[in-house]
A and B are shown apart, each in its own frame.
Chain A
Amino acid sequence: SQQGEEDPQALSIQEGENATMNCSYKTSINNLQWYRQNSGRGLVHLILIRSNEREKHSGRLRVTLDTSKKSSSLLITASRAADTASYFCATDAGAGKSTFGDGTTLTVKP
């Protein structure tokens, strides 16, 4: 079964608003990564956060990690229509293989 659960499953917002997605996992991890996937396409790597880090930023993206709660969040600020996609968290326990969450489908309306 998937290790990660993401919430919400679907999120619809207006352009300019912020979008927050959450990911929970079950076992200890080495790092956690967030990916974006446009419909029918490959994965785009967004951010990697290591288990000893609590927060990382990249442009309009902010990721937090709380290892005590086994959870992570992805915040997209000032969203754009082009941010419309599915977003997945993926955990790596150290062996290199990724265990994906169920994903959040984000729709940003112009």
Chain B
Amino acid sequence: GAVVSQHPSWVICKSGTSVKIECRSLDFQATTMFWYRQFPKQSLMLMATSNEGSKATYEQGVEKDKFLINHASLTLSTLTVTSAHPEDSSFYICSARDRVRGRNTEAFFGQGTRLTVV
């Protein structure tokens, strides 16, 4: 089956530093990828839609200057948490859908990244 690889799986960083998370579709191309955030014991909330070759679309309340998204190729999207603070500590997970298989197929999720800001 289709695989989405997310890296790193966990990261601890100091307050004020930036962290980059990568999301790769390994055996399919994804024009669009999605980034979600999950706080402890809560559901997943969509943060932004990453569009290959163009600007990301952010959900209401998500700071685009804080969470930089780059989708430079059909198989890679990156999320950079800039000037991280402890309240950014969360589980970040990406998803992608195979653009060839089409609209009515499942999205494939990465394994997630646990970010802890100290």
> Interface residues, chain A, CB within 8 Å of chain B?
2, 30-31, 33, 35, 40-43, 45, 48, 50, 88, 90, 92, 94-103
Measured in the bound complex, the distance between the Cα atoms of B109 and A41 in whole Å is 12
**Distance (whole angstroms) from the CB of B74 to the closest CB of chain A:** 14
- B43 neighbours in A (Cβ, 8 Å): 2, 88, 100-103
A45 touching B46 by the CB < 8 A rule? no
- A92 neighbours in B (Cβ, 8 Å): 107
**Distance (whole angstroms) from the CB of B21 to the closest CB of chain A:** 13
We find that the number of chain B residues with CB closer than 8 angstroms to chain A is: 25
A45 touching B109 by the CB < 8 A rule? yes
> Interface residues, chain B, CB within 8 Å of chain A?
6, 32, 34, 36, 42-46, 49, 91, 93, 95, 97, 103-112, 114
| Cβ contacts A to B, 13 pairs, < 8 Å | A33-B107, A42-B112, A43-B44, A43-B109, A43-B112, A45-B109, A50-B104, A88-B44, A96-B97, A97-B49, A97-B107, A98-B34, A98-B107
Measured in the bound complex, the distance between the Cα atoms of B38 and A35 in whole Å is 14
B106 touching A42 by the CB < 8 A rule? no
**Residue from B6, B91, B95, B114 in contact with A98 in the complex, judged by beta carbons closer than 8 Å:** B95
Measured in the bound complex, the distance between the Cα atoms of B47 and A84 in whole Å is 28
A42 touching B104 by the CB < 8 A rule? no
B34 touching A97 by the CB < 8 A rule? yes
- A94 neighbours in B (Cβ, 8 Å): 103-104
B107 touching A96 by the CB < 8 A rule? yes
Query: 8 closest Cβ contacts across the A-B interface?
Result: A42-B111, A42-B112, A43-B109, A48-B106, A96-B97, A100-B44, A100-B43, A97-B34
A35: nearest chain-B partner, CB-CB: B109
- A98 neighbours in B (Cβ, 8 Å): 34, 36, 44, 46, 95, 107
